[in-house]
Chain A
Amino acid sequence: MQAVRGRGLTSRDTMTAWLLVAPAVLSIIALFIVPIGYVLLLSVTDPTVGLEHYRRLFTVPLYANVMINTFKTSLIVTIACLLIGYPLAFVMARRNDAIAVIFLVAVGMSFWTGFVVRTYAWLVILGNKGPVSAVYALAGWGKPPQLLFTSFASTLGMTHVLLPYMVLALYGVMRKIDPSYMRAAEGLGARPFRAFRHVFLPLSLPGVVNGCVLVFTMCLGFYITPILLGTPKDMMISQLISQQIEDLLAWGFASSIAVVLLACTLVLLGIYNRFAGLDRLWG
């Protein structure tokens, strides 16, 4: 064993540390990385050995459309989450009163309520016997347009489901911004909006980046909401995977889609890691 490189990096320390981290690291390798490797293996061996699945994935226009649709939807959801979440996080971070507590409870509650429960709520709201229909009937507008099982429904549902992640990512950064900076800017005569734009906004940008990366990557592979609220006409990657497995039992092809999804996620997070360091992403 190589001893003492730098300050205090002794082989005894390394041994102790390895013993401490071994259970976690080995569990992750044996019980997570190996299974993922199995997906990779399946994608080039099931049913026959070769890159046939990938060739199909990249040449059939239908699948290219699924990819484009997934990225487009994820982008829309990310922007929507940012626009809705920013003011909420801003107020939460800058207040210390009952309103801040109420908002914190609202965000915490939706964060900890499972995806299935919240998606179910949208199923009721957008359904043809839901409140939207009731409002249409009350106003005498007749039948509302078909909302459920559209890409609109799935985009709306995902925005709702992922919003708490955005808010918490923003809040984590915003809370550390010293309020005296804004007071100083305003004390020097800047109007509130100017103070916000030149002082607060730039300081909150790391939170914006964190929130957007988090929401976008979660959205790329999002399973529950698009499958329950969306339509097979505008599929996202997860719907395609589900369809391949449930309807066609095409595990090999499904695995190759999963590998492409994983690759996209890794590239995005790799870029993030290069500039910010991955363990900052979850605050």
Chain B
Amino acid sequence: MVRKNGRRLSGRNMPAAMARHLPLLLAWLAAIFLVAPIAIIVPMSFSKAISFEFPPPGYWTGYYAQYFTSDSWLEATANSFVIAFGSMVFTLLVALPAAFGFVRYRFQGKSTLNLVMMVPIIVPAVVSALGYYGFLSLMRLVGTHAGMIIAHSVLSIPVAFLVIAAALKGFDRNLERAAMSAGAGPLRTFFWVTLPVLRPGILVGALFAFLHSFNEAVVAIFIAGRAASTLPKKMFESIRLESDPVIAVVSTLLTGSVLLGVLISLLFRQRSANAA
């Protein structure tokens, strides 16, 4: 080790030193490429400009006021929350038992059904959107919250299922056996042992389903109509039609919440890593 460090410092091995730092440099550039465009939205939201202008000609909070008083933006926000919450619940209700079925049992038709579980993420979003439009108009569900919840939940079942199944695979079944032999019934064991241990995995699955629905635009554009219009759909349409500066405000609020969420989840991970 010492010899190597000594060698690295000598002039003859400059390329080696560069080789050590080049990945880090490239990684920083990639990270900046990822974040800088998103960061630009924040000053934009305080900009006085009527159209998309950067750097902003002046700063104010007028467009925030506009967002918080605009019926159509607030309605889209409320719709987004309701639909995302509904999809999360629906997704969990079907993905959780499915994860138990696939991880804990060997049964006939397992590999085929496993493939079926993956279909919604295989199909490109436009294709799903077209399918939903036709299907939901037959059921008279286009432009309704129920239609959106159905569409979004089915799309997030696969990933929620994968996340929960992964957590379940790592679950030590001796914990259950211990609870059972200590006299707990199957239900008690499930609610007091199995579920709490799986909680992080279930939470991640739930969060995924919620955020997937909250961010999903393509299916929403096709089937949400006006009454169930969500934020991404409204933003997409505003960008295309009128370049409403409130878009920057909404984007900033969304990005801010995401950043907060990522930081909190990191904190949780740190804590559970320390606990382990």
Task: Enumerate chain A interface residues (CB-CB to B < 8 A).
Answer: 2, 5-6, 8-9, 13-14, 16-21, 23-25, 27-29, 31-39, 42, 84-85, 87-88, 90-92, 99, 101-110, 112-125, 127, 129-131, 134, 160, 163-164, 167, 186, 191-193, 217-218, 220-221, 223-224, 227-228, 237-238, 241-242, 251, 254-255, 258-259, 261-262, 265-266, 269, 278-279, 282
Contact = CB atoms under 8 A, between A and B. Distances in A.
Q: SS class of chain A's interface: helix, strand, loop or mixed?
A: helix
Given A109-B38, A192-B16, A278-B118, A20 B105 contact: yes
Given A36-B127, A121-B40, A127 B52 contact: yes
Nearest to B55: A134
A131 B55 contact: yes
Interface size range on B against A: 35 or more
Given A18-B101, A23-B98, A109-B258, A265 B37 contact: no
Given A18-B101, A20-B100, A221-B125, A90 B107 contact: no
A39 B131 contact: yes
Contacts of B114: 279
A221 B126 CA distance: 7
Given A90-B27, A120-B239, A36 B126 contact: no
B127 A109 contact: no
Contacts of B247: 120
B118 A279 contact: yes
Nearest to B25: A87
Contacts of B255: 109, 113, 117
B131 A108 contact: no
Given A42-B134, A124-B248, A223-B217, 4 more contacts: A28-B154, A109-B38, A120-B239, A221-B125
A29 B135 CA distance: 13
Nearest to A148: B52
A92 B94 contact: no
B130 A27 contact: no
B258 A125 contact: no
B145 to A, nearest CB: 15
B123 interface: yes
Interface string B5-40: 000000000001001101110110111011101101
A105 B34 CA distance: 11
Contacts of A117: 38, 41, 235, 251, 254-255
A8 B254 contact: no
Contact of A105 (B126, B211, B266): B266
B276 to A, nearest CB: 16
A122 to B, nearest CB: 6
Given A87-B26, A124-B44, A21 B113 contact: yes
A224 B217 CA distance: 8
Contacts of B40: 121, 124-125, 131
Contact of A13 (B24, B44, B105): B105
Contacts of B232: 114-116
Contacts of B157: 24, 27-28
Q: Specify which of B20, B30, B93, B138 lies most central, judged by the most chain A CB atoms within 10 Å of its CB.
A: B30
Contacts of A238: 126
Given A24-B117, A88-B26, A279-B114, A124 B52 contact: yes
B227 interface: no
B4 interface: yes
Contacts of A13: 105-107
B120 A28 contact: yes
Interface string B115-158: 11111111111111111101110100000000000110111011
A155 B98 CA distance: 38
B51 interface: yes
B62 interface: no
Contacts of B44: 124
A241 B30 contact: no
A282 B121 contact: yes
Contact of B94 (A24, A38, A105, A124): A24
Nearest to A241: B126
B37 A129 contact: no
